[in-house]
Chains A and B, each alone.
Chain A
């Protein structure tokens, strides 16, 4: 298991280095840092002097090494709009997005597992057919449309839920959380439902199809032949095997969910990374964009590494492969 973990961590590091190269490339090609620093009224000689001073005339690999060294120390440049270190801006905005992703993942897991299992073991039930039809509709409606419809119904017509912002935020350490107040929960409810609206139907369908395939397996027929109760066969024998592919896909999808926050956060004016990213794009704030890319990349790699380790815990054959 330890060997397996070490191998996964090395792989994760390689991926992070690749992301950093992409980030570096973007930084090099988007805009001229000198113009940001000096404006346009500085002479060409002075420009050249600054260029030399800042190391911009060095070969790219030296510049990349410097970029990597700075990044390792947490320095990803200074945001042009906020006039503050980009890392600081990211860390300030991250809790809002991570909480949003967390709550919608919770919604996805809590609903897709029971619904997926049900529609697999009772594929002909009316409710299963309804779920399958409904999930197609769910996948097909874009997130921002779902979000706008929800705002229209629950905020404008019914007036039950607030339509924008995070509401009351409590600081716990350096982390501003909205999950400790009722007001915060009211605010997070609609954005997280909107964010889960694409992944939830996909997960129901995924769990259903994987489970149906597992139910056809020889070892399930054998479990019936042993006279085991339905509950035991479905929830222990079949579901544990269903979990393996679902965990793998789930890890990747979690990353995609982070990407989807851009849409959701824009509609709900949610002060998170996605919202910040849209603003940064509009303002051509290159250091902030690169910082966002690096941050999301690292989070995704981290999540996938953790998911792989969970997979190793569920699947006994992986554990052995690690021992070798």
Chain B
């Protein structure tokens, strides 16, 4: 299948008053057309910032220090502001975390939908834009969309708002959707609905999806591949089922063991000892070494690159022989 997106050796830094902080340190992954990839990690692992870097919208003082974001042959890390704007919200759409905060409270849903269409298709008439908006609202199962278009965000529930945001993401038939924790702020029952909707739409519209989340259970249901991030680096990559069933990296193993369903009733929940280091004091060698239960001497000095583990998943861990270090 054709390659849609390739992120390569992405380094994102934040220029703070106290000095520079590295948020991601050489993140690489690829996405094929129509593929769904999960970007998993704890808060602060750099997954959101990676997602935003794809549309070149990192909050200041963050910036892309090195690496490239190849989107169908164009390096989004380097193209100009004007060109980037014609891709944002048009060919790559984003779904934000908290639907209660994402929509502008003083503009109607209709305005917030049609403005995107008008922005990317200046010749489009009002009637046509409205019809497209209605069509997309139907696709996300909003009842009586004609009436809903003239309402304001506060007249919708959280789940409904996230559907509207998905509808906005669909407006221009994008090739890629980046969803940053799209269900974290929602009830569990609504979470499943939204995820199913996303899968259904990705399949019918042949869209790529990058799902950024800390929730392994959600990733398991939605995506075909997973990249696990820890302290600004990808530590494990592979097909979703394989990563969840046989995690290779000790961090991924710890994450999966920490899922409540993997401990028996009455037992204490498993947890990974310690905390993820803050970006300022990432230990030398493997960033995970202070918390790792299989730590070796080499882990404290040398940073492991990604290499095939026992089942072919790529893992950045010294447990596996280096040999063919893998970049992509």
Contacts and interface: CB of A to CB of B under 8 A. Distances in A.
A227 B119 contact: yes
Contact of A227 (B101, B102, B120, B152): B120
Given A219-B103, A241-B104, A227 B115 contact: no
A132 B165 CA distance: 38
B254 to A, nearest CB: 32
Most buried by B among A218, A225, A228, A320: A225
Contact of B106 (A224, A225, A316): A316
Interface stretch (B20-28, B88-96, B138-146): B88-96
Given A221-B59, A232-B115, A320-B155, A227 B85 contact: yes
Interface residues of A, number: 23
A314 B106 contact: yes
Contact of B101 (A217, A229, A232): A217
A320 B105 CA distance: 13
A228 B120 CA distance: 8
Nearest to A241: B106
B105 A241 contact: yes
A316 B120 contact: no
Contact of B88 (A224, A240, A314, A316): A224
Nearest to B85: A227
A226 B116 contact: yes
A226 B101 contact: no
Given A218-B96, A317-B152, A227 B88 contact: yes
A319 to B, nearest CB: 9
B55 A315 contact: no
Nearest to A237: B104
Contacts of A315: 106
A221 B57 CA distance: 8
B101 A225 contact: no
Contacts of A317: 105, 152, 154
A236 interface: yes
Interface in A279-324: 314-317, 320
Contacts of B86: 227
Nearest to B101: A218
Contacts of A237: 104, 107
A316 B59 CA distance: 29
Interface string B143-158: 0000000001011000
Given A221-B57, A316-B154, A226 B104 contact: no
B168 interface: yes
A218 B59 CA distance: 11
A221 B49 CA distance: 13
Nearest to A218: B101
A223 interface: yes
Nearest to A224: B57
A236 B107 contact: yes
A222 B96 contact: yes
Contacts of B57: 221, 224-225
Nearest to B180: A225
Interface string A237-262: 10011001000000000000000000
B49 to A, nearest CB: 13
Interface in B60-97: 85-90, 93-94, 96
A307 B274 CA distance: 55
A273 B127 CA distance: 54
Could you say which of A217, A221, A244 has the most chain B C-beta atoms within 10 Å of its C-beta? Answer: A221
Nearest to B151: A316
Given A221-B59, A317-B152, A320-B155, A228 B105 contact: no
B41 to A, nearest CB: 21
A320 B154 contact: yes
Contacts of B9: none
Which of B59, B90, B115 counts the most chain A CB atoms within 10 A? B115
B116 A227 contact: yes
Nearest to B82: A229
B168 A226 contact: yes
Nearest to B172: A227
Interface in B142-186: 152, 154-155, 168
Interface string A174-218: 000000000000000000000000000000000000000000011
Nearest to A240: B106
A227 B87 contact: yes
Contacts of B55: 225
Contacts of B206: none
A4 to B, nearest CB: 16
Pairs of residues from A and B, 10 with the lowest C-beta to C-beta distance, nearest first:
A227-B89, A226-B89, A227-B88, A218-B101, A316-B152, A225-B94, A219-B104, A240-B106, A222-B102, A226-B116
23 contacts: A219-B104, A222-B104, A223-B104, A224-B57, A224-B88, A225-B57, A225-B88, A225-B89, A225-B93, A225-B94, A226-B88, A226-B89, A226-B115, A227-B87, A227-B116, A227-B120, A228-B89, A236-B115, A240-B106, A240-B107, A241-B106, A244-B106, A315-B106
Interface of A: 217-219, 221-229, 232, 236-237, 240-241, 244, 314-317, 320
